[in-house]
């Protein structure tokens, strides 16, 4: 029992060896749950701290005032299914594969996007199985304008809840997002392909 384990240090009559053996057993049975936790974090959902200003002012609203980071819930079950314009997604950054990036989906396959500064061409049609992602902070974000359309298979989660700070916590209403980037909606069948 856990209580026996805790109080054994005060109990003069209980042998040390017995309680040590017992705590070893509890430690082992706790460790057998580690693979389950790894599975959960990789396939069901995970809590993540948001770094940097690229999604300001939607996330890290107090970026200019303090060093606090927003805490978000990433849902990882079937992340590439039912992607919509305006959703927040997390993925391994194409320019630095060890870094996790959070951006907003601006356009889906088949759409035509009017690009911004670092992009060398004025309009891009998003190819099959790709999305166009941008940060909300248009001046301080490295996004599809610098690395091009993002392969869908790189996306590993959708941001569904803000957990902290308390003021902005709650589900993320991605449908209410009104972007400044001009997008001409297209059909998936018309998207560029490589057959």
Partner 1 sequence: MPPLSRFLLPFSYAKERYAGHPLRLSIAALKTIFVFHVFWQYGYAIAPLEGPSMLPTFEVKGDSVIISRYYRRGRNVKVGDVVQFDSVVEPGEGVIKRVLGLQGDYVMRDTPGSTDSMIQVPDGHCWVIGDNLPWSRDSRHFGPMPMGLIKGKVIAKVLPWSERKWIENGLQPIEKQ
Pick out residues in 28-67 that bind partner 1 (CB under 8 A). 32-33, 35-36, 38-39, 42
Nearer to partner 1, 45 or 151 (CB): 151
| DSSP string of 65-129, one letter each residue | T-S---EEEEE-SSTTTT--TT-EEEEE-SS-TTSEEEEEEEE-TT-EEE--TT-SSSEEEPPTT
Location of structure tokens 């009559």: 13
Q: Is 104 in the site for partner 1 (CB under 8 A)?
A: no
Burial of 33 (0-12, 13-18, 19+ CB in 10 A): exposed
Q: Which of 83, 90, 88 is nearest to 110 (CA)?
A: 83
CB of 52 to partner 1, least distance (A): 17
- Judged by CB under 8 A, the stretch of 12-20, 62-70, 152-160, 169-177 that binds partner 1 is 152-160
In the residue annotation, 15 being an active-site residue is answered as: no
Nearer to partner 1, 8 or 144 (CB): 144
CA distances from 84 to 2, 36, 81, 111, 150 (A): 49, 30, 9, 12, 14
Q: Is 92 in the site for partner 1 (CB under 8 A)?
A: yes
Nearer to partner 1, 8 or 141 (CB): 141
C-alpha 145/C-alpha 118 separation (Å) is 6
In the residue annotation, 54 being an active-site residue is answered as: yes
Q: Is 154 in the site for partner 1 (CB under 8 A)?
A: yes
CA distances from 137 to 26, 43, 77 (A): 48, 29, 28
Total binding residues toward partner 1, as defined by CB under 8 A: 28
C-alpha 133/C-alpha 116 separation (Å) is 12
- Active-site hit among 15, 68, 90, 103: 103
Question: Which of 4, 11, 15, 96: binder of partner 1 (CB under 8 A)?
Answer: 96
Map residues 114-133 to x or -, x wherever contact with partner 1 holds by CB under 8 A: -------------xxxx---
Q: Which of 128, 64, 67, 73 is nearest to 102 (CA)?
A: 73
Pick out residues in 71-90 that bind partner 1 (CB under 8 A). 80
Residues that bind partner 1 (CB under 8 A): 32-33, 35-36, 38-39, 42, 80, 91-98, 127-130, 147-148, 151-154, 193-194
Q: Active-site residue numbers?
A: 54, 103
């Amino acid at each position: 029992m856990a209580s026996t384990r805790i109080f054994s240090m005060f109990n003069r009559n209980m042998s040390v060896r017995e309680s040590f053996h017992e705590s070893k057993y509890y430690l082992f049975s706790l460790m057998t749950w580690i693979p389950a936790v790894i599975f959960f974090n990789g396939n069901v959902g995970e809590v993540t701290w948001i770094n940097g200003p690229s999604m300001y002012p939607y996330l890290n609203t107090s970026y200019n005032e303090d060093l606090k980071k927003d805490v978000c819930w990433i849902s990882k079950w079937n992340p590439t299914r039912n992607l919509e314009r305006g959703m927040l997604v997390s993925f391994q950054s194409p320019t630095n594969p060890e870094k996790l990036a959070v951006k907003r989906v601006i356009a889906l396959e088949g759409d035509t996007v009017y690009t911004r500064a670092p992009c060398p061409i004025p309009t891009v049609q998003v190819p099959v199985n790709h999305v166009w992602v941008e940060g909300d902070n248009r001046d301080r974000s490295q996004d599809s304008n610098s690395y091009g359309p993002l392969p869908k298979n790189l996306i590993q989660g959708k941001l569904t809840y803000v957990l902290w700070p308390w003021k902005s916590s709650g589900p993320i209403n991605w449908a209410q997002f009104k972007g400044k980037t001009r997008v001409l909606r297209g059909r998936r069948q018309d998207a560029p392909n490589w057959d």
